């Protein structure tokens, strides 16, 4: 664990106010157990002005970026979604659990377990992108499935936050994952906010098909 927090909201390469990014997430709009656990930790962290607490509607698990919306064609988006429907049709729904969050320099987050089924969804999405583009954005290695509960907006000591987390007594949350979402993501207001472009169910065969072309734009959004 780092000894100091750092500001998460610096502008990463390519980002700027008003710019939007295509990315694949798991979301938790309909996950009351996750909302219950999140609320326990939001209450514990509410007194820290250097933290931006994430409301239930914006809780998410970051999986795989595609690129900025002004660099990706609608044709390629449709082709990737069609390919993802085929790829994820063979990935069954699964449960993941969240327990006690850990602290990173820029965020407080749960490491979900098990990691393997989430990685299988990500692999399916990456394979779908690879059907359309010759290069898949973002490294394949180093993926760690996590769900953030707060982002740091300032520098400051970690230990008071760690102590507040230690005092929380809450039961772990288990959630059923049945779909992945392609979203259009923004970060103008010290929060990751999005609109859903497509929801792709797990374990369901689809007749959709598509092809595309072109090169991928790059940078990940880092949330």
Q: Which two tokens stand for residue 109?
A: 């987050």
Structural domains of the chain, with CATH: 4-201 (3.90.1140.10)
pLDDT at 215 over 70: no
**Span 19-25, mean pLDDT?**
98
Model pLDDT, residue 222: 54
Closest CA to 15 of 181, 147, 137, 192: 192
Cut 0.85: pTM above it: yes
Grade residue 133 by pLDDT with cuts at 50, 70 and 90: very high
Model pLDDT, residue 223: 63
**Span 38-65, mean pLDDT?**
98
What are the tens digits of pLDDT across the range 71-92? 999 999 999 999 999 999 999 9
Class of residue 65 by CB neighbours under 10 A (exposed 0-12, middle 13-18, buried 19+): buried
């Amino acid at each position: 664990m780092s000894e100091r927090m750092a500001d998460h909201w610096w502008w990463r390469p390519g980002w700027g106010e008003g710019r939007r990014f295509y990315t694949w997430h798991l979301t938790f709009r309909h996950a009351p157990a996750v909302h219950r656990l999140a609320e326990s930790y939001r209450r514990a962290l509410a007194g820290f002005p250097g933290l931006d607490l994430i409301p239930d509607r914006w809780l998410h698990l970051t999986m795989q970026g595609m690129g900025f919306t002004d660099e990706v064609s609608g044709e390629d988006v449709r082709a990737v979604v069609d390919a993802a429907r085929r790829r994820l049709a063979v990935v069954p729904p699964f449960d993941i659990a969240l327990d006690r969050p850990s602290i990173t320099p820029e965020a407080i987050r749960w490491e979900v377990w098990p990691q393997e089924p989430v990685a299988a969804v990500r692999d399916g999405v990456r394979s779908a992108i690879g059907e359309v583009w010759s290069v898949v954005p973002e490294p394949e290695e180093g993926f760690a499935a996590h769900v953030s509960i707060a982002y740091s907006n300032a520098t400051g000591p970690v230990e008071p936050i760690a102590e507040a987390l230690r005092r929380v007594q809450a039961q772990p949350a288990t959630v059923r994952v049945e779909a992945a979402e392609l979203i259009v993501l923004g970060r103008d207001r010290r929060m990751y906010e999005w609109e859903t472009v497509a929801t792709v169910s797990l374990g369901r065969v689809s007749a959709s098909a598509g092809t595309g072309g072109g090169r991928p734009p790059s940078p990940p959004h880092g949330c």
